[in-house]
Structure formats: structure tokens, C-alpha cells
Chain A
Amino acid sequence: MSSIPADSTAFLAAHGRAYLYVLDASGRVRGWPMIARFADGALVMTSYRKAPKVPHLAGATRATVVVTSDEGSTPFRYVVVEGGLKLTDITPAMADSVTQRMHGSASVQSNSDYSDDSTREHFRARLMEGKRVLIEVGVESATMYAMAEAA
């Protein structure tokens, strides 16, 4: 069982800007900016199934995710997460549970600009189209850093 430092767990719960990286078939890194939510011990993201990133994700079993402070924060902190990668087609039947994981429930507002009612409903409606995939990275390790000042 992994042991994630409490400060990293709190950081992941409070921040959503993320950068997802995997190794491609040639051993080179591919990466994409994402919005991620920390839920149930995993970083949870979504993408359109037809997005160019999805074939690369489908061919990978592990991922590294960098979750950062909000833009312009001082000091600028970030947490590097490593873990197993899982892709799942989002069916309309999963729309409510995925919306809950990404945006919280209507009755429990998180400290996030992604959790207002209109954003949540818009997100859920897109999931109901059945065109998106769920991307989950299990948090096996998480290390917090502070970005160095510019030289």
C-alpha cells in the first residue's frame, strides 16, 4: 500500500491544473495539459475519445502527472505523481458518477471554479453524448516541490 504525504494529499485535493505524461511506443515522452481531480486515491481526468492523445494513453500502462499551484502563485509549488494508468469509455450510465468525481455534488461545493452548477451540468451533458473517456492515474507516489526562482 502506498503512503502519500499529507501535504501532497492536501495539495492534490485543492488544485486541478495538471500535466499528464506517458512514454510512447518509441520510448519518448508525450504530454498534455489537463484538468484533474483527486478522488478515491486517483487523479481523474477526461478527454474526447477521438483526441490525438488517446491512442498514446491507450498504449501506456503508467503515467506521471504534475499538478501545479494556481498561475502566478508565490511560492509556486507542484506535486509530481506516479502511478498506473487506466482508460475507460464513459457510458451515459456513468455520467453522474464521473461528474461527481470531477466536479463534486451539487450540495457539496468544493473550493473550485469547476464546481458551480452550470459548469457541472454542462460537463454532465457532454458525458451523456458517450464520446469521452475517463483517464485515471492511481497515486502510488506523490512528491511536492517548489519551483526555483528565475535565474
Chain B
Amino acid sequence: MNTTAPKRPKPTVAMSRDEILAFLKTGKPAVVCAPDSNGRLIAHVVPYRIQGNDLVTAMQLSLSGDATDLPASDGACVIVDTYPAYDRIKGVLLRGSLSIAGIGDDRYAALRVEHANGFDFEKLKKT
């Protein structure tokens, strides 16, 4: 007779790709960092827009204001998160390449996502 109690699935805070996209559409600022040609890390906090529903190509980071020096790069990292309380932390980490497009006030960095992770601590309450 098997007396072992059934194991509960390990709780996870991971987001699905749909959840990641939905979170990004809430419009929190993005904290972006990319290396320049000398390997120096250039970082800024920027607004962004989400175009379409393909996470790989959806994010366009505004390069207006102080963020004009953000370089094109194949090794960028973008973080978008919210921290209303410890048990309600939610966020997304994206890694991929940045290409610069647009002109003037509409200059932006298009992110091509190669790795995406999302975390939602509120999921721990639901398990």
C-alpha cells in the first residue's frame, strides 16, 4: 500500500508569454541597459509602446529626452516591474537585440526578444 501523501505541484511565479505581453501592456516604465561599442553599459528608464501581439517584436522603446544615447546592441536587457508590496511583486525580464529606428521625437529602439521571463508573486497566494 502506498502511504505517501500525494505531492502538491511546486508553486511557481512564472508567467506565460500571454501573461508577459498583458503585463507589458500596462505601460510601466522600462529600465533598459545595453553595452556600447566600448563595452560600457548605457542604462535608462524609458516609456515604450507595444505594437501587436507578437512578444518577439512588440516592444518599441522611446529614445526621447535623456535616452538618446542608448546604443543599438545584440545584448540588451529590459526590465519592467511593479512593487506595490512584497507579495504583489510582478515583473518581466527581456533579453535580446536593440535596433534604432525613427527620426526626431519619434526615434525609438525596437527590441527583438530572444529570452523572456515573467514573475508574479501573487501566484503564490493562488496555489
A interface residues with partner B (beta carbon < 8 Å) = 17, 19, 21, 23, 26-33, 64, 66, 68, 71, 76, 78, 80, 82, 145-151
Contact = CB atoms under 8 A, between A and B. Distances in A.
Contacts of A68: 29, 31, 45
Interface in B63-82: 64-67, 73-77, 79, 81-82
Contact of A148 (B33, B34, B67): B67
A76 B35 contact: no
Nearest to B96: A28
A151 B104 CA distance: 12
B27 A32 contact: no
Contacts of A32: 79, 93
A33 B82 CA distance: 10
B33 A64 contact: yes
A126 to B, nearest CB: 13
Given A28-B95, A29-B95, A82-B41, A19 B31 contact: yes
Give chain B's interface secondary structure class. Answer: strand
B31 A29 contact: no
Nearest to B40: A82
B44 interface: yes
Contacts of A78: 31, 44-45
B84 to A, nearest CB: 7
A80 B73 CA distance: 19
Contact of B64 (A66, A71, A145, A148): A148
Nearest to B117: A52
Nearest to A18: B31
Counting chain A CB atoms within 10 Å of each CB, which of B28, B31, B34, B95 scores highest? B31
Contacts, number: 101
A148 B64 CA distance: 6
A26 B47 contact: no
A19 B43 contact: yes
Contacts of B49: 151
B39 interface: yes
Nearest to A82: B41
A80 B65 CA distance: 15
B84 A71 contact: yes
Contacts of B106: 151
Which among A28, A64, A145 has the greatest number of chain B C-beta atoms within 10 A?
A28
A19 B31 CA distance: 8
Interface string B15-40: 00000000000011101011100011
B33 A145 contact: no
B27 A150 contact: yes
